Chain A
Amino acid sequence: MTFNKLSLCLAMTCCVALPALAEIDLSGSWASINDEDAMERGAGPNPDDWAGLPLNAAGKAKALAFEQSTISMPERICWFQTQWHIAAGPFSLRMWAVPDPLTGRVQAWVIGAWETRAPMTIWMDGRPHPPKDAPHDQTGFTTGVWNGNELIATTTHMKSGYVRRNGAPISDEATIVTHFRRHGDMLTLTLFMVDPVYLTEPYIITRSYNLSTNPVSIGGPPCTQGDEGVPEGRVPHYLPGKNPMTSEMTKIYGIPAEAEMGGAETMYPEYRDKIKDKFVLPAKCERNCGGPRGGGGN
């Protein structure tokens, strides 16, 4: 083998080997594909639908105490969702890279804000997460690493919030790990929520996006603290056993009460076998219909 051929061979080997370490360009506007969990992400989930969430006893109790007017409290009107809202909300993503001014390497990836979620800055420069007693803010603190062509981002230091927009809680001790995988013009996010306070197991969901030429908005307007009818100092909540919404899923869809309360086992397919004898298909679907008698309200 001549020197030139050897060089060429080495160069080709490097080229083949490089993708394992390669970064992928994630920049652009990514339009959300909202087929999956459309109701939960759009109009919002049914108030008593906590099925499929690995809530522990404390999480269930907190969800049952949740009254929707909580978010109309004067102190909470300008409250933001946590970064989990990437998965729980309907919005599209816009991502861009921030270069290090000296080296030109990507110092951070940024996902632009929405009206109710702060931007997510994914630090790629190896900086550590803040110490445990550091403040938790609206953005959380996120670092990222490349695993081949997959970006893995870890978010800590968030404020408390909701894993589902009907009061299913997540605590300020929660961590989100987000995997970004790009396949051509499609982007898939897989999000792992770990919360030692309210979840017994990680809650894992995926969201998909299509590359779009329509620019996605990267921020909401400044917030105004208006009066939404809850007097200052009032703390809306339901007393134990007094939540009036807890039978809605049973009334509308025939789903057993034990299933709507969630818990880890309700995440798994085999749970359907456990409750199949308790499930009664309604004669007529009244709201948000799907399934065999769904569509058109049949």
Chain B
Amino acid sequence: MAGAAKEQVGKTVKRNFTNPMAGWVLAASLAMCGAFSARAAELDSGGLEVIKVRPDFYMIAGAGGNIGVNIGSDGIVLANAGSAAAADQVLAELKKLTDLPIRMIFNTEAGPDFVGGNLKLARAGLAVRTGSNLAEIIAFDAVLSRMSARNANPSYPGDAWPNDAFLANRHAVRMNDQGIEAWHVPAAHTDGDSVVMFRKSDVVVTGDIMNMDRFPVIDLDKGGTIEGEIEALNKVIELTIAPIPYIYKDVGTYVVPGHGRLCEQMEVVDYRDMVVIVRDNIEDLIKQGKTLDQIKAAHPALAYETRFGTEPGATDAFIESVYKSLTTTKK
């Protein structure tokens, strides 16, 4: 009897703990709590989220692509400018942080969510080297070519174009008492990508070679390739330092991705591994003679679809770009 009662109690307890309905009520409550806290942060900044990364560095999210903001004695140095639509809000947020002028804007690529804000932000700035009322815009040469092209879409006025375009793999300046390096990463998301490292702040801004909200976009028409994407992520891993040996006492190098939350080296490793694994899966299916449709049907990115493929079409677009990149390269 006692044994039976005990067994029954055990069953009751177990069923209570494993009741799916109770679990989902809990899950819903948690989700609501999370939604409220995130929403509160957004409302304070007119839809933008301003994250303090280091004492001299901020990340502005929600303005199109993420923006890195370094503030020091020389003024403001930006890594990306966000979208045109959000430029006024970005300026308002910068004004809350400092009265110092915008001195430089690095563009990590030519996407409108990264360069759209160039015009307004540059015009609100003050150049160091020329003294003009236009902040310097620094980017790899392909960004200038793309933005200034006759058929550029969207089209940009000259003041929005990079006025300091570089062709070397590395372009460095010293501002705000720190070295700032732009590293060109060839043929990755596009052919004009660079990652920007703020040495003293210990922050790397990647642009869309890393997008924490979705699979990377490999824009083949603009010179992107899967191998270049992997090499670019490897470059970011190389530039960053994990918090070793004191794993939890400090943080390592921060990474501002093109979209999504602030990261450290480990997230870049996770993202690189994801891209490599999906590439390997697709490559194996190509070797088996599968067509693109057959490869899509085989779900080679299944392990990551619920994390990076929730945007409609994101998974298929990634698979297709990897497939085309691999098959084009092998010709």
Whether A160 contacts B270 by the Cβ 8 Å rule is yes
**Interface flag for B130 (CB, 8 Å):** no
Whether A78 contacts B242 by the Cβ 8 Å rule is yes
**Interface flag for A85 (CB, 8 Å):** no
Could you mark each residue 126-157 of chain A with 1 if its beta carbon is under 8 Å from any beta carbon of chain B, else 0? 00111111111111000000000000001010
Which A residue sits closest to B16, measured CB to CB? A204
Could you mark each residue 19-52 of chain B with 1 if its beta carbon is under 8 Å from any beta carbon of chain A, else 0? 0100110110011011001101110000001010
Least Cβ–Cβ distance between A296 and chain B, in angstroms: 25
How many residue pairs at the A-B interface have CB separations less than 8 Å? 149
Q: List 30 A-B contacts (CB under 8 A).
A: A58-B304, A65-B303, A73-B269, A75-B242, A75-B266, A76-B269, A119-B248, A130-B37, A131-B41, A131-B49, A133-B59, A133-B262, A136-B263, A138-B247, A156-B34, A171-B306, A171-B307, A190-B17, A192-B23, A194-B27, A194-B30, A202-B26, A204-B23, A206-B17, A222-B245, A222-B247, A224-B244, A235-B272, A235-B280, A240-B281
Binds B, one of A32-40, A43-51, A172-180, A278-286: A172-180
Instruction: Return chain A residues, CB-CB under 8 Å to B34.
Output: 129, 132, 156, 175
A119–B273 CA distance with the chains assembled, in angstroms: 27
From A132, A135, A190, A269, contact of B254 by CB (8 A): A135
From B17, B261, B280, contact of A237 by CB (8 A): B280
- Say whether chain B's binding surface is mostly helix, strand, loop, or mixed: helix
Would you list which residues of chain B between 276 and 303 have a CB under 8 Å from chain A? 276-277, 280-281, 284, 298-300, 302-303
A127–B14 CA distance with the chains assembled, in angstroms: 33
Given contacts A58-B306, A239-B281, A134 and B27 within 8 Å (CB-CB): no
Which A residue sits closest to B279, measured CB to CB? A235
Whether A233 contacts B234 by the Cβ 8 Å rule is yes
Which B residue sits closest to A56, measured CB to CB? B306
Could you mark each residue 53-67 of chain A with 1 if its beta carbon is under 8 Å from any beta carbon of chain B, else 0? 000111001100100
Whether B51 contacts A159 by the Cβ 8 Å rule is no
Which B residue sits closest to A137, measured CB to CB? B251
From A58, A78, A129, A197, contact of B244 by CB (8 A): A78
Whether A78 contacts B247 by the Cβ 8 Å rule is yes
Would you list which residues of chain A between 184 and 207 have a CB under 8 Å from chain B? 190, 192, 194, 196-198, 201-202, 204, 206
Residues of B within 8 A of A (CB): 11, 14, 17-18, 20, 23-24, 26-27, 30-31, 33-34, 37-38, 40-42, 49, 51, 59, 61, 234, 237, 242-248, 251, 254, 260-267, 269-270, 272-273, 276-277, 280-281, 284, 298-300, 302-307
A128–B262 CA distance with the chains assembled, in angstroms: 18
A204–B21 CA distance with the chains assembled, in angstroms: 13
**Interface flag for A79 (CB, 8 Å):** yes
**Interface flag for A225 (CB, 8 Å):** yes
Given contacts A61-B303, A177-B26, A133 and B277 within 8 Å (CB-CB): no
Residues of A within 8 A of B (CB): 56-58, 61-62, 65, 73, 75-76, 78-80, 113, 118-119, 128-139, 154, 156, 159-160, 169, 171-173, 175, 177, 190, 192, 194, 196-198, 201-202, 204, 206, 222-225, 233, 235, 237, 239-240, 264, 267-269
Question: Looking at B40, B245, B254, which has the most chain A CB atoms within 10 Å of its CB?
Answer: B245
A154–B30 CA distance with the chains assembled, in angstroms: 9
Which A residue sits closest to B30, measured CB to CB? A175
A283–B303 CA distance with the chains assembled, in angstroms: 37
A269–B42 CA distance with the chains assembled, in angstroms: 45
Which B residue sits closest to A159, measured CB to CB? B266
Whether B304 contacts A80 by the Cβ 8 Å rule is no
A254–B124 CA distance with the chains assembled, in angstroms: 71
The 6 A-B residue pairs with the shortest CB-CB distance in the complex, in nearest-first order: A222-B245, A118-B248, A202-B23, A131-B41, A62-B303, A132-B38
From B20, B264, B305, contact of A58 by CB (8 A): B305
Least Cβ–Cβ distance between B253 and chain A, in angstroms: 11
Whether A75 contacts B265 by the Cβ 8 Å rule is yes
Least Cβ–Cβ distance between A125 and chain B, in angstroms: 15
From A159, A240, A268, A269, contact of B300 by CB (8 A): A240
From A62, A156, A268, contact of B18 by CB (8 A): A268
A232–B266 CA distance with the chains assembled, in angstroms: 14
From A79, A128, A132, A197, contact of B307 by CB (8 A): A197
Instruction: Return chain B residues, CB-CB under 8 Å to A172.
Output: 267
